[in-house]
Amino acid sequence: MSPQTDPTEHDDRWMQEALRLARAALAQDEVPVGCVIVHEGRAVGRAHNQRETLRDPTAHAEMIAITQAAEALGSWRLTGCTLYVTLEPCAMCAGAMVLARIDRLVYGAADPKAGAVESVLRLVDDPRLNHRITVTAGVRADACGAILSEFFRAKRAGPGDLL
């Protein structure tokens, strides 16, 4: 495969954008997860967690970005898309990605407690489902994990210690 067609060529660039969105979530006292969905080299969905802001348990970065991408592409089928996210998706988000027919997932930090890609469950490549997603794990994992550690360390320390 030539460098021009290598799907991993731009992974670092897009994960940097997802990290920027995670920092925006941190500034809003949200769990700092950022997500970008890319189709044909351009971002068609960008979001960060907004569960607290929207008072919505489904307002994960991936869910919001999937909705944006579907709107931008005019279809619920997100074939040809790569989803970049700073944290391994949970069962809800991994399930939505399968239903949306996303081709590829790139994530940063693993989630040993709720990850539904490789850590706890393996939803995106389950042969019983009608779609499977190619996965690249660990892109900028240290940076993705550090922002989450910072957030939860500040939460444990008490109010007023975040940021």
Nearest to 49 by CA among 69, 26, 71: 26
Give the C-alpha separation, 49 to 33, whole Å. Answer: 6
CA distance 69 to 103: 13
- Quote the tokens at residue 99: 């239903």
Strand order in the sheet with 34-39: 42-48, 34-39, 81-87, 104-109, 134-137
Q: Which residues are catalytic?
A: 62
